Structure 1
Amino acid sequence: MTVPPGTGDQGDQGDQADLPTPLRFASVARLASRWPVATLCQAMGVSRSGYYAWKDRLRRLAATNPRRVASDALCVAIQDCHARSRGTYGSPRIHADLVAHGIRCSRRRIAGLMAGLRLRGCRRNGRRARPGARGVGAPARALPAPDLVRRAFAVSGISRTNHVWVADTTAIRTGEGWLHLAVVIDLRSRRVVGWGASAALDATLTGNALRMALHRRRPARGQELVHHSDRGSTYTARAFQALLRQAGITCSMGRPGTCLDNAVAETFFATLKVELIHRRPWPSRADVVQAIFASVETWYNPHRRHGSLGYLSPVAFEASQPSAPSAPKPMTVR
């Protein structure tokens, strides 16, 4: 039998069979408009007669204890938000999600109900995987650039999108060996505007991520754009620096050995690993690339809420900003 989505295991949520029976009934009610009640009851491990008896009790209770009914309805909404976040949201983001859908309640109440439901968001555990060998030979390098950003990462301090892009790389362990991931993030909206993945850590990888960003964002020539990264060989490589110059982008680099100078990119990688990478093993590099594509393009950019953006997603934040003035025709980089 095919189990309806949202009734199975949701990461740290635990098996639905471990939930109290009334909450399993509530899950059936939440999905009853899309799936047969008999199928849902079987998936949740409850009887149809018990489910309908629960609905009758709920109707009688509504007349005498409306707060209890409201709490039950809020529990169902919390479960739905948690499931749609792929089991990653904690109480702050679930609170923002509910408020956005017109449900008013305190964050403290949500945290208490989540504890009763045995739901929690993903948390960082401090683990850091490092590859044994980084890169495949030393490319010809240019001199490092000065730090033009100087840790001014606050969204309010960036006047527009396509003003500062931050970039970095990380390594992900797979059954086939290490996969290297490069990203380019718009500092104003925290949107991942370009990314690339490869078995080799080289300037081709970082160049591909930058090319994707240029293709998607089409920054206008003459409009100031800063590319900020660390001083790794993939960014100081002459081939990468030539790509920046061709696009008319100003290069900025943090100080050596200081990860806080690129904290936004580091934070993105920490989030990606906690919410996706570290939740399961990856037999092949292709598996990881496919999962990263789905995570970035269908979840992180369009839907994942960010505290620094007032709990809007990057796409929603950009849509909420005033329209930018018309700009000259963009340059095509090859």
Structure 2
Amino acid sequence: MGLKKLYHKLKYKPFGRDKFIAIGVETGLSIPRPKNYQRTTFSTKSNRYQNLLVGIELDDIDQLWVSDITYFWVNNRFYYITLIMDVYSRKIVGYCGASTLEASANMEALTMALKMRKKKTFENLIHHSDKGTQYVYKDYVELLESRKIRISMCNVVYENTHSERLNGIIKNEYLRHRSINSLADLKRHLAKDIELYNQDRPHDNLNKMSPHEFENYLQNVPKKQRVKMNIYVDERTINKQKFGQQLVLF
């Protein structure tokens, strides 16, 4: 994890946070942010699914899951990681490491998420993703619809920022520091690191709690007392849905 969060985890703090971060950066302990050069999204031209996040306000788990696919470089080849996160608690509820971009990886991640939540149907849940072909795969759509989960898709990458940020955390704060030489290694470390993320990583927006701690905390907080969470939607998407205009992206 980053230096700011490491400082929060320290039981003994010999000096202030800013000094701790400065020393960490000076000694090479900060986390590098490599650029993403690998394409993982091959978009469908279908307009079947709109962005359903316009104007919504979250106050509970299982209201919004976001998903994305990212790459991971191992021994001169790419492997791929699919993640599904509950936005309100930041908990990763489903994941899969794979050697290809086939939709079977997304199916595995979604099946895991449904198994974790232990619900036959979801009253108010939206599944949000980019327009990747994996997310319009027939079996994937049917599985979502069978659980009464509404399907939402973004029009620009900035409408899925929670997934983009999560990808960076898992790759740069965890996996890049492991000895990974094969798909089996990736899957093993992915499982361990997601458990660390869910159980141990403090989040600023969760009052320094981990996702697991925050979900337990929510059980004793009435909805009317919870912090409301708004989701970013590009202004062009809002105008398109409000005025029925054709969305043109440059």
Asked if the contact 1:166/1:264 (under 8 Å) is kept, the reply is yes
Separation of aligned partners in 1, 2:33 and 2:161: 15
In the other structure, the counterpart of 1:128 is: 36
Asked if the contact 2:131/2:154 (under 8 Å) is kept, the reply is yes
Does residue 250 (structure 1) correspond to residue 250 (structure 2)? The answer is no
Task: List alignment gaps of at least 5 residues for structure 2.
Answer: 223-250
Matches within 5 A, 1:295-334: 295-297=193-195, 299-323=196-220
Separation of aligned partners in 2, 1:109 and 1:160: 36
Look up the equivalent residue of 2:80 and give its one-letter code.
H
Give the C-alpha shift of residue 112 in structure 1.
Answer: 5.1
Look up the equivalent residue of 1:164 and give its one-letter code.
L
Residue by residue over 1:297-320, the C-alpha shift from the partner in whole angstroms, topping out at 9 and shown as x without a partner, is 2x1110011222222211111122
Helix, strand or coil at the partner of 1:301: helix
Look up the equivalent residue of 2:9 and give its one-letter code.
D
Separation of aligned partners in 2, 1:185 and 1:316: 15
Does residue 178 (structure 1) correspond to residue 78 (structure 2)? The answer is yes
Residue by residue over 1:42-83, the C-alpha shift from the partner in whole angstroms, topping out at 9 and shown as x without a partner, is xxxxxxxxxxxxxxxxxxxxxxxxxxxxxxxxxxxxxxxxxx
Q: How many residues align?
A: 222
2:51 pairs, out of 118, 132, 147, with 147
Give the C-alpha shift of residue 178 in structure 1.
Answer: 2.4
In the other structure, the counterpart of 1:274 is: 172
Asked if the contact 1:183/1:196 (under 8 Å) is kept, the reply is yes
Q: Normalising by structure 2, report the TM-score.
A: 0.77
Greater Rg over alpha carbons, structure: 1
Separation of aligned partners in 1, 2:12 and 2:135: 46
Rate the CA distance shift 1:134–1:115 in 2: closer, same or farther, 3 A.
Answer: closer
Rate the CA distance shift 1:305–1:151 in 2: closer, same or farther, 3 A.
Answer: farther
Rate the CA distance shift 1:108–1:172 in 2: closer, same or farther, 3 A.
Answer: closer
Helix, strand or coil at the partner of 1:269: helix
Separation of aligned partners in 2, 1:201 and 1:208: 13
Asked if the contact 1:122/1:275 (under 8 Å) is kept, the reply is yes
What is the identity percentage for the equivalent residue pairs of Structure 1 and Structure 2?
23
Give the C-alpha shift of residue 96 in structure 1.
Answer: 2.2
Does residue 93 (structure 1) correspond to residue 5 (structure 2)? The answer is yes
Look up the equivalent residue of 1:89 and give its one-letter code.
G
Rate the CA distance shift 1:281–1:237 in 2: closer, same or farther, 3 A.
Answer: same
Rate the CA distance shift 1:302–1:159 in 2: closer, same or farther, 3 A.
Answer: same
Give the C-alpha shift of residue 223 in structure 1.
Answer: 1.9
Asked if the contact 1:176/1:283 (under 8 Å) is kept, the reply is no
CA RMSD of aligned residues (A): 3.0
Rate the CA distance shift 1:322–1:229 in 2: closer, same or farther, 3 A.
Answer: same
Decide which structure has greater helix share. 1
Give the C-alpha shift of residue 160 in structure 1.
Answer: 0.6
Look up the equivalent residue of 2:143 and give its one-letter code.
L
In the other structure, the counterpart of 1:283 is: 181
Look up the equivalent residue of 2:20 and give its one-letter code.
I
Look up the equivalent residue of 1:321 and give its one-letter code.
L
In the other structure, the counterpart of 1:108 is: 18
Asked if the contact 1:203/1:234 (under 8 Å) is kept, the reply is yes
Give the C-alpha shift of residue 287 in structure 1.
Answer: 1.4
Helix, strand or coil at the partner of 2:134: helix
Helix, strand or coil at the partner of 1:276: helix
Separation of aligned partners in 1, 2:165 and 2:94: 16
Helix, strand or coil at the partner of 1:181: strand
Look up the equivalent residue of 1:96 and give its one-letter code.
H
Decide which structure has greater strand share. 2
Helix, strand or coil at the partner of 2:115: helix
Separation of aligned partners in 1, 2:55 and 2:173: 25
